[in-house]
Amino acid sequence: MNTMVVKSGRVPFANAVEETCLLVWRGGRYTCRILIPDGGSMSEPLFIIGGSIHALHSWPRLEQRLADRQMMVFLEPPGVGDSDAVPGGLTWEYLTGAAINALEALGIARCNLLGTSAGAPTAYRVAQQAPERVARLLLLGASPRLCPEANETLLSVERLVGQLSNAPVGGKGSRQAKEQARALVNIFLASSTAATPVTRQVVARALARRVVALPGHVLGNFVNYNRTLLIGRDLMPAQKIRGVRTLVLTGQKDRVTPPSDGRKVAAMIDGSVFMSVRAAGHMVHNEREAEFADVVTRFLTDDSLDGLSYCGPPESLAARQSEDAAAVLDATRSSTSSLRSATEGTEDSSSSSMTTP
């Protein structure tokens, strides 16, 4: 449970310092990045577990809005981003252990935990297994089990990523590669972001440039994560969370993890609140950056979430009994079991070349 600082310095855009640390969990090396404001933190450290393609620097807009006043920890778990592949293969239990190990190694007794997209199942399990370590839990783009459309979306994304990975030298800069990357990110964006200062086209271009610039092994980790943990599989355990203040947030126009999925997750957590962000898809933190930073700040400081013009009203969903929570997971199981079998049994040349050994 040791940690080693491999990089440190000042944050160029804020009155804060940053450190990048190397950690090890059961033979797998991984990293985290910490921002520490000079004037202290307005709340417990914000510990962020991102999705299957998020890395240490995937949250620039949130950093710029919060780094002056909130300690932030960005986790890049084993098997994600630039971190090592997991010895023995990825499991939710392994990723949960790696996250708790990071908290212990960094000396963080209690944190605010943000789990987004594919990182939400890990964050859920951390709060469930170690509730004493979690002051507040924020889940963004969470689902108990992806719907068939979302599974098909991930398979489409995988094919696009495979084409990018197999592009010849210099091919990533081609018009075709850029169009493929744009098609990839468009899946995750709302059809309109007119309510935001940044247009949908600008967001799509910026995200597409990031995808094109990703190294092959990072894209390989992304595909492996999706195939191993997401496509056609249960994402959340049947056991519910108790004793942790929780907000479940979803883009109103999210096609990957729609609001109905967010409500199912919220129903599994005692005393949780569900909200949907207007004019946003799956990439809420990019599509409505100012509003996302505002709701995060309000949640971390226990400020009111009522009457926000950019969100639907808070919904308090009474947690169901354990057997009802299990029933929620069973509701979509039959419709995706065949897809899981097909996914495990058929790998085209692009996807097999992408899978991390």
- On whether residue 328 sits in a domain, the answer given is no
Q: Are 15 and 122 part of one and the same domain?
A: yes
Query: How many domains is the chain built from?
Result: 2
Q: Are 297 and 181 part of one and the same domain?
A: no
Domain containing residue 157: 150-230+342-354
Structure tokens belonging to residue 176: 């075709």
- What gap in Å lies between CA 85 and CA 225, rounded to an integer? 10
- What gap in Å lies between CA 249 and CA 206, rounded to an integer? 23
- On whether residue 329 sits in a domain, the answer given is no
Q: Are 254 and 124 part of one and the same domain?
A: yes
Q: Are 137 and 154 part of one and the same domain?
A: no
Q: Are 90 and 110 part of one and the same domain?
A: yes
- On whether residue 336 sits in a domain, the answer given is no
Structure tokens belonging to residue 167: 């592009």
Q: Are 219 and 251 part of one and the same domain?
A: no
Q: Are 168 and 110 part of one and the same domain?
A: no
Q: What is the pLDDT along the chain (357 residues), one digit of tens a residue?
A: 467 898 899 999 999 999 999 999 998 899 999 999 999 999 999 999 998 877 788 899 999 999 999 999 999 998 888 888 887 789 999 999 999 999 999 999 999 999 999 999 999 999 999 999 999 999 999 999 988 877 887 787 777 777 666 665 455 456 666 666 666 666 677 765 444 445 566 666 666 666 666 666 777 788 888 889 998 889 999 899 999 999 999 999 998 899 999 999 999 999 999 999 999 988 898 889 999 999 999 999 999 999 999 999 999 975 444 444 455 445 444 444 444 444 444 333 333 332 222
Give the CATH number, domain containing residue 270.
3.40.50.1820
- On whether residue 330 sits in a domain, the answer given is no
* Sheet bearing 46-49, strands edge to edge: 3-10, 16-25, 28-37, 72-76, 46-49, 111-116, 134-140, 245-251, 273-277, 315-316
Predicted pLDDT at 122:
97
Q: Are 269 and 132 part of one and the same domain?
A: yes
Nearest-Å Rg of the Cα atoms of the chain is 19
Predicted pLDDT at 146:
86
Structure tokens belonging to residue 251: 């883009």
Q: Work out the burial of residue 7: count CB atoms within 10 Å of its CB; fewer than 13 is exposed, 13-18 middle, 19 or more buried.
A: exposed
Q: Are 127 and 246 part of one and the same domain?
A: yes
Q: Are 21 and 41 part of one and the same domain?
A: yes
- On whether residue 332 sits in a domain, the answer given is no
pTM: 0.81
- On whether residue 333 sits in a domain, the answer given is no
Q: Are 280 and 307 part of one and the same domain?
A: yes
In SS3 terms, the chain reads as CCEEEEEEEECCCCCEEEEEEEEEECCEEEEEEEEEECCCCCCCCEEEECCCCCCCCCCHHHHHHHCCCCCEEEEECCCCCCCCCCCCCCCHHHHHHHHHHHHHHCCCCCEEEEEEHHHHHHHHHHHHHCHHHEEEEEEECCCCECCHHHHHHHHHHHHHHHHHHCCCCCHHHCHHHHHHHHHHHHCCCCCCCCCCCCCHHHHHHHHHHHHHHCCHHHHHHHHHHHHHHHCCCECCCCCCECCCEEEEEEECCCCCCCHHHHHHHHCCECCCEEEEECCCCCCHHHHCHHHHHHHHHHHHCCCCCCCCCCECCCEECCCCCHHHHHHHHHCCHHHHHHHHHHHHHCCCHHHHHHCCC
Q: Are 33 and 66 part of one and the same domain?
A: yes
Predicted pLDDT at 335:
42
